[in-house]
């Protein structure tokens, strides 16, 4: 392998730039050529590619978003899209691909690597933390901290006005962000996809807190197309006639921002790990960090939808929010 292509794909995540920097610099240090692919798989299909030097990645470690841009490609999952992407790789002389992205992006990499003879290495770049085989994904810690800051502010209003707030956070199909931010913010409850929620029980729990001494309440709700924060606020509001029940959807402000030290370090370690993996002849794996060790996880495993969710976190929140 002489030339490595690097791209970011799917939703941007803080720390993606630190990962681009790490792959580029470690690659060049070890004698590889690096080619940057813009706009994810879209750019691979359309040939939006340029050679990168160490200067291209200078000063980006602390920047949110991704300098390579990103996209959710509709064409890449098709046979024709993948064929065109492969032709671009051949034309550009790229013989290994490093894809920084989440579940969908790494699924794309796995399918591509199965069909064509190309070495694909994934880096876990997503705020959702839903990739199997790595303790954390790049971007998750920054987003956790962003949510915590936002909810702390909402708490000021909730306490001052004595209100009930349902705060909706991202996470797609995973409740890591919701559950852990609820713990970090001292919220009263979290509604997550990993656990079913009985609305009557939730209302009863909230009432118990109010009867005891609480004058405000915050519930963190993991996003869901049908049962988001609005749904739960509507369902319980009649139970709290003396309270103003409000909804706050944090939305995309959760995705941007300067990455935390943890995310920069995770991105740097896995970026260097990607180059080491290529030099060791590894193929079609994701580089993660488990128990503070860099690990290689087969792409087919990384995209599993059942990343273990520690149910003890539910107890921690319940015991502390009485
Ligand atoms: O996967 C990251 C994520 O932010 C999810 O939490 C969220 O469901 C989704 O992306 C939103 O994507 P988009 O910005 O494309 O609407």
User: ipTM for the complex?
Assistant: 0.98
264 lines ligand 1 (CB under 6 A): no
Q: Can you give the pTM of this predicted structure?
A: 0.97
Mean pLDDT of the chain: 97
Structure tokens at 16: 């993606």
pLDDT of residue 206: 96
Contacts of residues 182-185 at CB distance under 8 Å and 24 or more positions apart, as own/partner, are: 182/220, 182/317, 183/313, 183/316, 183/317, 183/320, 184/144, 184/147, 184/148, 185/147, 185/148, 185/151, 185/152, 185/155, 185/218, 185/220
CA distance 261 to 281: 30
Spot the catalytic one: 95, 128, 141, 263: 128
pLDDT of residue 245: 98
pLDDT of residue 84: 98
Contacts of 25 (CB under 8 A, 6+ apart): 54, 57
Structure tokens at 176: 């890591």
126 lines ligand 1 (CB under 6 A): yes
Confidence band (pLDDT; 50, 70, 90) for 59?
very high
Condensed to tens digits (0 to 9), the pLDDT of residues 240-282 reads: 999 999 999 999 999 999 999 999 999 999 999 999 999 999 9
Pocket test for ligand 1, best of 10, 11, 257 (most atoms within 8 A of CB): 11
CA distance 289 to 274: 12
Confidence band (pLDDT; 50, 70, 90) for 56?
very high
């Amino acid at each position: 392998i002489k030339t490595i292509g690097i791209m970011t794909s799917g939703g941007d995540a803080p720390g993606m730039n630190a990962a681009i920097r790490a792959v580029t610099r470690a690659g060049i240090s070890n004698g590889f050529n690096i080619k940057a692919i813009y706009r994810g798989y879209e750019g691979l299909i359309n040939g939006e590619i340029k050679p990168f030097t160490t200067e291209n990645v200078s000063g980006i470690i602390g920047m949110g978003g991704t300098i390579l841009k990103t996209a959710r490609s509709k064409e890449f999952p098709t046979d024709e899209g993948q064929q065109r992407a492969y032709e671009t790789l051949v034309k550009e002389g790229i013989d290994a691909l490093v894809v920084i992205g989440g579940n969908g992006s790494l699924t794309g990499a796995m399918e591509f690597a199965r069909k064509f003879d190309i070495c694909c290495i994934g880096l876990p770049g997503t705020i959702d933390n839903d990739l199997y085989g790595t303790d954390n994904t790049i971007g998750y810690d920054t987003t956790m901290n962003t949510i915590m800051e936002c909810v702390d502010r909402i708490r000021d209003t909730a306490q001052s006005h004595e209100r009930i707030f349902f705060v909706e956070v991202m996470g797609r199909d995973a409740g890591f962000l919701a559950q852990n931010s609820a713990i970090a913010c001292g919220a009263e409850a979290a509604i997550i996809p990993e656990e079913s929620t009985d609305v009557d029980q939730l209302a009863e729990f909230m009432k118990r807190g109010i009867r005891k001494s609480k004058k405000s309440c915050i519930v963190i709700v993991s996003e869901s197309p049908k049962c988001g924060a609005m749904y739960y606020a509507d369902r319980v509001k009649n139970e709290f006639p003396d309270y103003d029940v409000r909804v706050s959807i944090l939305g995309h402000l959760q995705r941007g921002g300067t990455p935390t030290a943890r995310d920069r370090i995770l991105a740097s370690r896995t970026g260097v790990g990607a180059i080491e993996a290529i030099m060791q002849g590894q193929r079609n794996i994701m580089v993660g960090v488990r128990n503070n060790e860099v690990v290689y996880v087969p792409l087919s495993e990384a995209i599993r939808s059942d990343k273990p969710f520690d149910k003890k976190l539910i107890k921690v929140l319940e015991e502390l929010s009485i």
